[in-house]
Amino acid sequence: MRDVNGREYTPQWFVARYNSRPSQGAVAVPAFARIAPGVPTDLPIIDNAVNLTVGAGAPGFSGETFNVRRVGDQWLADSRAAAISMQGETIVVDVVDGTVRLAPTSFIPPDQTVKENPNALLCEPGQGWIYYGAWLSNPPINLLRNPVFFDTNAPTGYPFDVKGVQNEGTGNLIFLEFGFETTMTATRGPRFLIAVWAPRAVLGNTPQIIVFYTPPTKPTDYPADSYPFLSRYPYFPSPDVSAKPTIAKEIVQPYAYLAINYLLAGYKIIPQLQAAGRNPIVIFPIHPSMDWGPLGTQAGLTRLIKEVVRFLYARQLVSSRVAPTARVSLDSGRVSIFPKEGLFNNERIPNSWTLTVSGFSNGIDRVLDLCTPRQINDKLYDPEIFASPEATLVESWREIWDIDGVADNGEGAGRHLNNLRNWLKQDRRRVRSYHSGEGMRTAPRSLVEASRITSSPAPPFNGVYIEEGTSADKNATWVGFSNQALRPSPYDAHHTVPAVAFGHAAQFALP
């Protein structure tokens, strides 16, 4: 057994469940065997199939349960995390274990009073069952034109084409926990809530992945917690039910809804990407109380991506070969993966990806941090759980999407520009920047030669204009909006940018 970094460890046990006959001619009966790791064991299997459960042998790891079956002249597993090989007459099982698992869920009837932390994500009936508020609608998307051009010299807002999307049925929104299991009382280490979009599409050998960093989760807006973040983060609701008990239909879980609002309900990042013709894996880390911990480092993000990819492929929620049929089920508020048995084939988990990292507003600080390697705090975050060698991320990283980024760590616009310039020195990299007049940081504009930036309409009409340009080396694009151009929108100009920019950036081909 090994982790995603290739580090081997010995699990506590294997449990085999299979059909056997106690004697010649007897009726087949279910059988059970506990197998010591690394010790060859004879199993009297009669139907060339066995279910294996691997007990996690290290804190933080989840263990695996999967099926092994003889298909033709070879043995295959229905989990991409299990590699099956033969050594003579012995079946050898090599398992990649992980530190990511499904986040717990619960259903509370809408009129029931909530008085304490549910310690789980709340679900509701609708489209089968969904996480609270996570409706998969099929909204029309106002897709910003690429290149930007107006049909009139008297515009009232940005130029767009209306695109319909088929959001429902094109993927799964999944909430995961990354890190230690909170049920393991002996090792109550930190864990992070992660939202993931798992597309129902053929991903190819090198899947596309987009990671998005939000502005800080300020204690004024999100339940405050402190390390190791096992109290109010991430499931405590608003309003504060410990002070004011509230019926379930009138509460919201701010940390979870942060992802739902950006991805589906509000800014519609997923529908924007689909309107532009993309349906990638999207990873949305949700940080506690303004503390990104290892998630703001190359080593930490590399580990997170590896763990999420391992989980999605192992459970056949995504595939490089076929459109997956597995899905996350929330029936009656209980999370599971359906169907329980997957396809038996030899598809492997990809070891590389094409990565886009995006950040909105102050979230750009984390993106800029990622441009250079920094050590995680190994006294707070065990590297065996939270870190991976950075090479995979560095080699796979293709794009930065700067979504009205406000670099605000005290070093000013110089850091913003210099980190992006240095990051672009490696081949096959692009920076795409989208800024409003409210963003207050226009440093990325300097990545594009001034002579290559045009403004339209010319002259501006009632304050409406958009700047656009691409650098001579094609490595940087700039789109600057006047505040008046960011209409129609239910948001202010700054918060309209993420509702527009993702659909535009996704129209560019990956380098």
175's CB contacts (< 8 A; 6+ apart) are 102, 103, 121, 131, 193, 194, 195, 196, 256, 259
Read off the pLDDT band of 186 (50, 70, 90).
Answer: low
In this prediction, residue 90 carries a pLDDT of: 83
Euclidean distance between CA atoms 68 and 95, whole angstroms: 12
pLDDT band at 440 (very low <50, low <70, confident <90, very high): low
pTM, full prediction: 0.95
Query: In the chain, what percentage of residues exceed pLDDT 90?
Result: 77
What is the chain's mean pLDDT, rounded?
92
Residue 183, pLDDT above cutoff 70: no
- Res. 23: pLDDT tops 80: no
Separation between Cα atoms, residue 413 and residue 442, nearest integer Å:
8
Q: How confident is the model at residue 39 (pLDDT cuts 50, 70, 90)?
A: confident
In the 8-state DSSP scheme, what is residue 309? H
183 vs 347 pLDDT, higher one: 347
Q: Is the pLDDT of residue 327 over 60?
A: yes
At residue 229, the 3 state secondary structure works out as coil
Do 320 and 350 touch, CB atoms closer than 8 A? Answer: yes
Pairwise CA distance, residues 176 & 183, whole Å: 15
| Statement: residue 301 has pLDDT above 70 | yes
For 47-75, the pLDDT digits (tens) are 889 998 987 767 888 888 999 998 988 89
For the segment 399-408, the average pLDDT, to the nearest whole number, is: 92
Q: Are 298 and 228 in contact (CB under 8 A)?
A: no
Which of 121-130, 177-186, 387-396, 472-481 has the weakest average pLDDT? 177-186
Token digits for 229?
């973040």
pLDDT of 185 over the 60 cut: no
Q: What pLDDT score was predicted for residue 187?
A: 62
- Cis geometry, peptide bond prior to residue 294 (ω within 30 degrees of 0): no
pLDDT level of residue 495 (50, 70, 90 thresholds): very high
What digits encode the pLDDT tens for the residues 359-372? Answer: 999 999 999 999 99
Query: What tens digit of pLDDT does each residue of 254-289 get?
Result: 999 999 999 999 999 999 999 999 999 999 999 999
Which of 58-67, 105-114, 179-188 is predicted least confidently? 179-188
Rounded to 5 degrees, φ, ψ at 332 are 60, 20
What pLDDT was estimated at residue 227? 96
Q: For residue 136, give the nearest of 163, 170, 110, 106 by alpha carbon.
A: 170
pLDDT at 410: 66
pLDDT beyond 90 at 188: no
Please, which residues bridge with residue 319 across strands? Answer: 202
Q: How far is it, in rounded angstroms, from Cα 456 to Cα 466?
A: 6
Q: Which of 16-25, 128-137, 189-198, 296-305 has the lowest mean pLDDT?
A: 16-25
Place of tokens 């059970």: 32
What's the whole-number mean pLDDT along residues 472-486?
A: 96
